[in-house]
Amino acid sequence: MPVVNLAETAKRELNAQLHALSVDTNETHWRVENPQGQHALAAGLNVPVTVEIAGHAGYYCAGMNSQATVVIEGNAGVGVAENMMSGKVHVKGDASQSAGATAHGGLLVIDGDASARCGISMKGIDIVVKGSIGPMSAFMAQSGTLVVLGDAGDALGDSIYEARLFVRGEVKSLGADCVEKEMRAEHRDLLHKLLEAAGADAGVDEFRRYGSARGLYNFHVDNASAY
């Protein structure tokens, strides 16, 4: 297993080594030591490898991830897994704001809390937060699923499209055009699979589902103040 010590190796060199890997590489498991909160660690990966980051990561860790599994053994800064396409990102601590922003696919698991705008403009990613999330989460969320085992802050799902939101705790307030919805069998099945994939200990029946009321799909002058 390749081990890269960022106290001795430049971050740019680490990312260059990871970007140079071929799809059929034998070096499929990497460990990064002494990350010291540096930004853009393991960003832009495009091969099915596992990268363990032994500590805290800064902004945009695992951004644009495709195929890879990135494990952060600490907290993550702004925009972790931003614009992720596939693969898995696992934050074993807390995440700052905009976790999973604009991401198109893959699974983001956050063991702790996530700050404001978690899942903003998400476009297909699945996000499981085992703690609570901050205000304006899932703002303009287009597709994908956000699962929260804790509480949600103000304006959850503001201007949401077709993303699915499941919250076990309290929701401080719902954003424009976001409403509570019926939990049907297909939603229970989806939620069960995501909880299992994230290793989350919670029962499906403990959650409530939220989604779009579809009142803002088309512009109407009477709704101008809600946009």
Instruction: Say if residues 129 and 173 touch (Cβ distance below 8 Å).
Output: no
Instruction: Say if residues 184 and 165 touch (Cβ distance below 8 Å).
Output: no
Per-residue confidence (pLDDT) for residue 224, from 0 to 100: 66
User: Using CA atoms in the order 179, 185, 189, 195, what is the torsion angle rounded to 10 degrees?
Assistant: 40
Per-residue confidence (pLDDT) for residue 221, from 0 to 100: 66
Q: Is 2.160.20.60 the CATH number for 3-226?
A: yes
Per-residue confidence (pLDDT) for residue 204, from 0 to 100: 97
Q: The pTM is what?
A: 0.95
> What is the Cα–Cα distance from 133 to 187, expressed in whole angstroms?
21
> What is the Cα–Cα distance from 74 to 29, expressed in whole angstroms?
18
Tens place of pLDDT for every residue, the chain, 227 residues?
Answer: 999 999 999 999 999 999 999 999 999 999 999 999 999 999 999 999 999 999 999 999 999 999 999 999 999 999 999 999 999 999 999 999 999 999 999 999 999 999 999 999 999 999 999 999 999 999 999 999 999 999 999 999 999 999 999 999 999 999 999 999 999 999 999 999 999 999 999 999 999 999 999 887 766 667 667 65
Per-residue confidence (pLDDT) for residue 218, from 0 to 100: 67
Count H helices and E strands in the chain, helices first: 2, 11
Break the chain into its structural domains and give their ranges: 3-226
Per-residue confidence (pLDDT) for residue 216, from 0 to 100: 76
> What is the Cα–Cα distance from 188 to 29, expressed in whole angstroms?
34
> What is the Cα–Cα distance from 179 to 158, expressed in whole angstroms?
10
Instruction: Say if residues 168 and 150 touch (Cβ distance below 8 Å).
Output: yes
The SS3 of residue 211 is: strand
Spell out the residues 6+ positions from residue 196 whose beta carbon is closer than 8 angstroms to its own. Answer: none
